[in-house]
Structure 1
Amino acid sequence: MKHVVTPALIGAVLMSAVLSASAATPEAKAAYKQAKEAAAATYKAQRARCDVITGNPKEVCVEEAKAARVRAVEEASAIYKNTLKAYTQSRLTIASANFDLDKVKCKALTGNDKDVCVQQAKATLIAAQADARADKKAIEARTDARDDKRTAEYKVALEKCDAFAGAVKDSCVSAAKSQYGK
């Protein structure tokens, strides 16, 4: 029931999203649309395979197809939007879909085994949500720290420029502004 996702991979994806602030290009929009269409087609094919099954295995099959579709669409959406908020929301939605799948898997059990299964599913959901929010906060903190460092370095560069006068000082200030993006 535990859905393993490498935290380093998630961190790398989220960090790249923060670092690359690009507007949605027509190519990105086309890729997003294509990913959504592919997810829908894959869902229909997986769902059709579920129709020959009966009982709880059919419900599990259907939920697996839904979870796969949600994952594909949410990942494509996060890549298309390319924001930290979108990546975090995507992870939260995927965790919720996985929780729904886990609950359906638990339906086949009875008694204490079912209770344990449901509690494990809830714990997995809470852990995934907490990880998504913690990663978001960590990335925001790193971004703030990087901005603070650049501002401090910029102030040092301006202070160094005070040793000059006239056109040389103007050139120094101009170079500092371009170097530190001010």
Structure 2
Amino acid sequence: MTSLTRNFVALMAAGMVASVSMAMQPAEHTAAKERISADYKMHKDKCSAMHGNAKDICMQEAKGAEKVAKAELEAQYRPSDKTQYKARVAHADAAYDVAKEKCDDLTGNAKDVCRKDAKAAHVRAVENAKVAQVQAQPAATAAEKGAAVAEARKDAAAEKREADYKAAAERCDAMTGDLKAKCVDDAKRMYAQ
């Protein structure tokens, strides 16, 4: 794992902790925005020494870290269900963008599978964010909240299954004949298509 990747992961983890903190003052917010910009510039400068896809991955990590930091900052500055949701989605989007870029090192079906796996992970993260948002919203009664959460979980499960099925079906494309047909049937059965 490169130092930039470790920094990206650490920044994302730190952002999760920061999101549960108290709201910030305007001066703190401004200073934090300046730090985010400075960190992005520093990470971007580190990437300029790289070449090829390694540079592209580095740039996606830098951009993702910046987006996540900005979303986490907004969630801390203006705490709400909406900003928390946006921060969770920023994490998912950043991870997805980096994963897609890493897939570019591959070719053929391996690259296609890599991209479908990345998409499935993204869908899972976004759907989990949607469920968390519904769980955080107030409801008139416990029964209403329970019903809303159950519906959100049901919808999320369907979206996740669909994304996982697409990834599994993509793996089958590398096969031929009866082996491919069995693989597709197994994927349909596993993900109830």
Classify the TM-score, shorter chain. 0.5 to 0.7
Partners in 1 of 2:109 and 2:137 — Cα distance? Answer: 42
Deviation per CA, 1:23-45, whole angstroms, max 9, x where unpaired? x6xx5222222221111101111
Which residue identity does 2:83 align to in structure 1?
A
Equivalent position to 2:62, from 62, 65, 81: 65
RMSD: 3.1
Equivalent position to 1:80, from 72, 77, 87: 77
Structure 1 position 93, deviation (Å): 2.5
Q: What corresponds to 1:133 in structure 2?
A: 130
Q: What corresponds to 1:104 in structure 2?
A: 101
- Report how many aligned residue pairs link the two structures: 134
- Which secondary structure does the structure 2 equivalent of 1:33 belong to? helix
TM-score, L = length of structure 2: 0.60
TM-score, L = length of structure 1: 0.63
Structure 1 position 144, deviation (Å): 4.1
My pick for the range that moved more, 86-95 or 118-127, is: 86-95
Deviation per CA, 1:144-178, whole angstroms, max 9, x where unpaired? 447x9xxxxxxxxxxxxxxxxxxxxxxxxxxxxxx
Q: Which runs of 5+ in 1 are unaligned?
A: 149-182
Percent of counterpart pairs with the same letter? 32
**Larger relative CO (CA 8 A, sep 6+): 1 or 2?**
1
Q: Which runs of 5+ in 2 are unaligned?
A: 1-8, 145-193
Q: What corresponds to 2:4 in structure 1?
A: none
Contact 1:35 1:72 in 2 (8 A): no
Partners in 2 of 1:44 and 1:125 — Cα distance? Answer: 26
**1:52 to 1:111, Cα distance in 2 relative to 1, 3 A:** same
